Amino acid sequence: MDFDYSPRTTALLERLGTFMTEHVYPAEAVYDAQVEASANPHEQPQVMRDLQAIAREQGLWNLFMTHYDLGAGLTNLEYAPLAELVGRSIIGNEAINCSAPDTGNMEILAMYGTDAQKDEWLKPLLECQIRSAFAMTEPDVASSDATNITSTIRRDGNDYVLNGRKWYASGVLDPDCKLVIFMGKSDVDAPSYRQQSMVLVPLDTPGIEILRDLPMFGYRDRLGHGEVQFTDVRVPVTTILGEEGGGFAIAQGRLGPGRMHYAMRAIGFAERALQLMCQRAVSREAFGGPLADRGVVREWIARSRMEIDQIRLLTLKASWLMDTAGNAAARSEVAAIKVAAMETAHTVVNRAVQTYGAAGVSDDTVLARLFAITRALQIADGPTEVHLRTIARLELKNQATA
């Protein structure tokens, strides 16, 4: 395994680092202030539009997209350190059009969309002219097992009729959101993994009702996490993504790169928290000296450094495997990074919160929000226990055939 950065990644890291230092970090407080002052807290603030314009001018745009004709054409291994760097800021990914759920939606549109679907939806998403949402999770079933979903996709002549209730449909509250990718069951009599399909649904289609915006540990995301009711929503059969019965396979194909993005972003969170912890430790005095002189704080810093470096290597390995052997061959590693990266990031953030004391649980630093995000993301995109189940199953199979 060769984890040396390619010349292109090295050059992009330098430019991206400058962009983050000169533009993104200074804009964080402005972003929050503009969102708070807006009549619609889900509307994209002007400072983000300004950041995106700068990113485009500097060629820091759609870096996640592996397809050369659509994006930067980087491999997973090449993109991974860039994802970590922008992950240090909560607004970093959005500034370069590399934020969820659009990244995953754009990837599956690129892989499975027809030419007409790409023209209608993928191109404006790549240009950030519109935003999108992904509707799979349901409030009444354990949706981490996609065979449980109860929403239906029924064919009626040349249309599909959609019914069901979804929640945590991220991005659906953004006024720029024009597309929802809806996952439901199109054939309940088919084999378990061929019952689901995905349909491209314009958000203004009659029958779609956004019931509420869901908080995450008390924080409300600018894009919104909506609970959405679909009642007799009618769309043409041409809106099917891929083929009928292909929804589960598409969802699985979406997860490999997506989980690498989550993991590298988590490493960025952890690095930001460690940086803040070190700054606090040398500047804050208690019991006759700086916190940095206390043994327990030094241990927190040392363990954080080791743990971050460990999960970075594991994530780079998973990225390398996806590039060289394919997503299926990297299933265990991809599951492992989703667990290990988020748990480590949460642990490091927790130590930083403790180092800051009362300030750590306030909104005076980014730490409280990072604490909420790293905890919530141990559930989102498949809870930790599901990934552990996958790792254990594959390990037992490998040991049995060894």
pLDDT in tens, 386-399: 999 999 999 999 99
- pLDDT higher than threshold 80 for residue 68: no
Q: What percent of the chain has pLDDT over 70?
A: 99
- pLDDT higher than threshold 90 for residue 333: yes
pLDDT the model gives residue 292: 97
Burial of 73-97, coded b for 16+ CB within 10 Å and e otherwise, reads: ebbbbbbbbbbbbbbbbbbbbbbbb
Q: Share the mean pLDDT of the chain.
A: 95
If you average pLDDT over residues 98-114, what whole number do you get?
94
- pLDDT higher than threshold 90 for residue 66: no
pLDDT in tens, 182-223: 999 999 999 999 999 999 999 999 999 999 999 999 999 999
Instruction: Name the more confident of 72 and 132.
Output: 132
pTM for the whole structure: 0.94
pLDDT in tens, 243-292: 999 999 998 777 678 888 999 999 999 999 999 999 999 999 999 999 99
For residue 312, how many C-alpha atoms fall within 13 Å in the half-sphere facing its CB?
19
- pLDDT higher than threshold 90 for residue 327: no
- Radius of gyration for the chain, computed over Cα atoms and rounded to the nearest angstrom: 21
Of 93, 90, 71, which is closest to residue 16 (Cα–Cα)? 93
